[in-house]
């Protein structure tokens, strides 16, 4: 079973910037990057990005003659709460986000810059997104960080989350996990789900925040309740180990099932294992095999290993030695070793073993 150390390891992974929000016309979200065990991502339940209708040309220069705001010290959460959110004027704000959704990035920039200069936090956040991804303007991490900072100072949790991720990665700003934690904490004041999750990881880690498993569990719970599958997976792990919460296999399996059904690849494997062994739920080896197959086909090497085992033994699915060998070879190439399956493959006929090797070489293109 994945340990708490595996949850904490995601703090070392690269992260993507968050999708930005708008009251009436929310922008196209960033597609979630694949990670091995959750990762500091920017929302796990958002729909896939829409294809833009058209893309205006990228202009030269870093700021189109308009310098980004100077980066300053982050205020505390209380100051941010008092500062208010975006201006949200009727009509004009929707033009920027609407243009962004249609791929008219220069138009979005032009409208947003006018609003950002008047103190609109959401518009500043949109500018940070445009600079961060090089949409309609030349990509510039420093400009992105500065605009996100302006949005963060004005109290926009999307900007606070984005700025925290930049500090975590050292993009456009000096890498600083303490400042990343500050920014996540500010966004968490607004109950931003990914910031709650990221902050929970830092409380588990115990380096830039006091080690506090109960605090981490509380933050994960708030995020998980909003549908964040990384938080659901992490919360399940804490209930499985009784860390920060009472040990409860039933609650652990419930959260694991939610994460698995929402598409978390590691949760699919763990949920399959719980179904196979009857941990916190009724034993169901047929359903377990289905989850192992789903995880295997999604590219999860542990899922590939577990699926190979049930195919080799015929437990929960019809026995298929060639497919078992195929998935074992794929998993082995990805670093999951299994001496029992090595022995199983060595006892196959030459024809079956060759067929498995050919099928493994064709994956994933060959299905």
Q: What is the pLDDT of residue 356?
A: 97
DSSP 270-282: HHHHHHHHTSSS-
101, 130, 80, 13 alpha-carbon torsion, rounded to 10°: 100
3-state secondary structure of 334: coil
Determine, yes or no, domain membership for 358: yes
Listed range (105-119, 225-239, 278-292) with the worst mean pLDDT = 105-119
What span, in angstroms and rounded, lies between the C-alpha atoms of 289 and 276?
Answer: 8
**Closest-CA residue to 63 (of 144, 118, 133, 8):** 144
Q: What is the pLDDT of residue 177?
A: 92
Higher local confidence (pLDDT), 115 or 322: 322
Residue that is last in its domain, among 226, 243, 268 = 226
Give me the mean pLDDT over the 135-159 stretch. Answer: 91
Structural domain count, the chain:
2
The structure tokens 């941990």 sit at 279
Cβ neighbour number for residue 58 with a 10 Å cutoff: 13
Q: What is the pLDDT of residue 94?
A: 66
Does the pLDDT at position 70 exceed 60? no
Determine, yes or no, domain membership for 242: no
Q: What is the pLDDT of residue 102?
A: 87
Determine, yes or no, domain membership for 367: yes
**Could you tell me if 153 and 19 lie in one domain?**
yes
Q: How confident is the model at residue 231 (pLDDT cuts 50, 70, 90)?
A: very high
**Closest-CA residue to 132 (of 119, 145, 116):** 145
3-state secondary structure of 11: helix
What span, in angstroms and rounded, lies between the C-alpha atoms of 28 and 224?
Answer: 22
- Cα 348 versus chain centre, distance: 40
Q: How confident is the model at residue 365 (pLDDT cuts 50, 70, 90)?
A: confident
Q: What is the pLDDT of residue 41?
A: 38
Give me the mean pLDDT over the 16-43 stretch. Answer: 34
Determine, yes or no, domain membership for 271: no
Residue that is last in its domain, among 226, 254, 272 = 226
Does the pLDDT at position 38 exceed 90? no
DSSP conformation class of 10: G
Tokens linked to 299: 């590219």
Q: Per residue in 318-351, pLDDT tens?
A: 999 999 999 999 999 999 999 999 999 999 999 9
Q: Are 180 and 154 in contact (CB under 8 A)?
A: no
**Could you tell me if 105 and 203 lie in one domain?**
yes
Sequence length of the chain is: 367
Q: What is the pLDDT of residue 261?
A: 97
Tokens linked to 242: 């009784």
- List all residues 6 or more positions away from 351 whose beta carbon is below 8 Å from its beta carbon: none
The most confident of 54-58, 124-128, 238-242, by mean pLDDT: 238-242
Cβ neighbour number for residue 235 with a 10 Å cutoff: 33
Phi and psi torsions of 59, nearest 5°:
-90, 150
3-state secondary structure of 30: coil
Determine, yes or no, domain membership for 87: yes
Higher local confidence (pLDDT), 38 or 184: 184
Q: Are 60 and 131 in contact (CB under 8 A)?
A: no
Give me the mean pLDDT over the 98-109 stretch. Answer: 87
Determine, yes or no, domain membership for 174: yes
Tokens linked to 14: 């690269």
**Could you tell me if 197 and 293 lie in one domain?**
no
DSSP conformation class of 206: T
Does the pLDDT at position 55 exceed 80? no
**Could you tell me if 47 and 135 lie in one domain?**
yes
Does the pLDDT at position 34 exceed 90? no
Q: Which domain holds residue 310?
A: 284-367
**Could you tell me if 169 and 318 lie in one domain?**
no
What span, in angstroms and rounded, lies between the C-alpha atoms of 353 and 128?
Answer: 53
3-state secondary structure of 59: strand
Tokens linked to 52: 């833009």
Does the pLDDT at position 33 exceed 70? no
Q: How confident is the model at residue 133 (pLDDT cuts 50, 70, 90)?
A: very high
- List all residues 6 or more positions away from 179 whose beta carbon is below 8 Å from its beta carbon: 74, 164, 167, 173
User: What percent of the chain is modeled with pLDDT above 90?
Assistant: 63
What span, in angstroms and rounded, lies between the C-alpha atoms of 315 and 295?
Answer: 17
CATH of the domain at 31: 1.25.40.10
Determine, yes or no, domain membership for 312: yes
Residue that is last in its domain, among 226, 251, 269 = 226
- Cα 195 versus chain centre, distance: 11
3-state secondary structure of 126: helix
Mean pLDDT of the residues in the chain: 80
User: Angle 334-168-134 (CA atoms, 0-180°, nearest 5)?
Assistant: 90
Does the pLDDT at position 67 exceed 70? no
What span, in angstroms and rounded, lies between the C-alpha atoms of 104 and 345?
Answer: 55
Q: Are 149 and 134 in contact (CB under 8 A)?
A: no
The structure tokens 């549908």 sit at 227
Q: How confident is the model at residue 5 (pLDDT cuts 50, 70, 90)?
A: low
Determine, yes or no, domain membership for 89: yes
**Could you tell me if 58 and 200 lie in one domain?**
yes
Q: How confident is the model at residue 8 (pLDDT cuts 50, 70, 90)?
A: low
Listed range (206-220, 309-323, 353-367) with the worst mean pLDDT = 353-367
Q: What is the pLDDT of residue 308?
A: 97
Listed range (24-38, 167-181, 342-356) with the worst mean pLDDT = 24-38
Give me the mean pLDDT over the 139-159 stretch. Answer: 91
Q: How confident is the model at residue 63 (pLDDT cuts 50, 70, 90)?
A: very low
Does the pLDDT at position 44 exceed 60? no
Q: What is the pLDDT of residue 4?
A: 58
Tokens linked to 255: 């959260």
Tokens linked to 246: 């009472």
Does the pLDDT at position 85 exceed 70? no
Tokens linked to 252: 């652990």
């Amino acid at each position: 079973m994945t340990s708490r150390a595996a949850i904490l390891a995601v703090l070392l992974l690269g992260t993507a910037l968050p999708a930005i929000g708008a009251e009436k016309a929310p922008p196209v979200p960033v597609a979630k990057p694949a990670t091995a065990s959750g990762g500091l991502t920017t929302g796990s339940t958002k729909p896939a990005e829409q294809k833009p209708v058209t893309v205006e040309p990228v202009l030269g220069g870093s700021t189109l003659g308009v310098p980004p705001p100077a980066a300053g010290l982050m205020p505390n959460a209380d100051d941010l709460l008092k500062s208010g959110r975006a201006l949200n004027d009727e009509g004009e704000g929707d033009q920027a986000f609407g243009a962004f959704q249609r791929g008219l990035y220069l138009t979005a920039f032009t409208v947003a810059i006018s609003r950002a200069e008047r103190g609109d936090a959401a518009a500043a956040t949109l500018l940070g997104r445009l600079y961060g991804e090089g949409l309609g303007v030349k990509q510039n991490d420093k400009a992105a960080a500065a605009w996100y900072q302006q949005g963060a100072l004005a109290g926009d949790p999307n900007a606070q989350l984005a700025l925290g991720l930049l500090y975590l990665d050292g993009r456009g700003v000096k890498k600083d996990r303490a400042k990343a934690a500050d920014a996540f904490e500010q966004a968490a004041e607004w109950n931003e789900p990914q910031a709650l999750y990221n902050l929970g990881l830092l409380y588990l880690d115990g380096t830039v925040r006091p080690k506090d498993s109960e605090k981490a569990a509380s933050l994960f719970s708030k995020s998980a309740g909003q549908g964040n599958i990384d938080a659901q997976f992490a919360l399940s792990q804490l209930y499985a180990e009784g860390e920060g919460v009472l040990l409860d296999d039933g609650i652990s399996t419930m959260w694991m099932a939610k994460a698995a059904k929402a598409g978390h690849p590691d949760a699919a494997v763990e949920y399959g294992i719980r179904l196979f062994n009857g941990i916190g739920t009724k034993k169901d080896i047929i359903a377990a095999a289905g989850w192992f197959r789903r995880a295997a086909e999604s590219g999860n090497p542990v899922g590939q290993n577990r699926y190979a085992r049930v195919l080799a033994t015929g437990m929960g699915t019809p026995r298929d030695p060639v497919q078992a060998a195929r998935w074992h070879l794929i998993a082995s190439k990805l670093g999951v070793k299994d001496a029992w399956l090595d022995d199983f493959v060595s006892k196959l006929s030459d024809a079956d073993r060759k067929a498995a090797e050919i099928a493994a070489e064709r994956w994933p293109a060959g299905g």
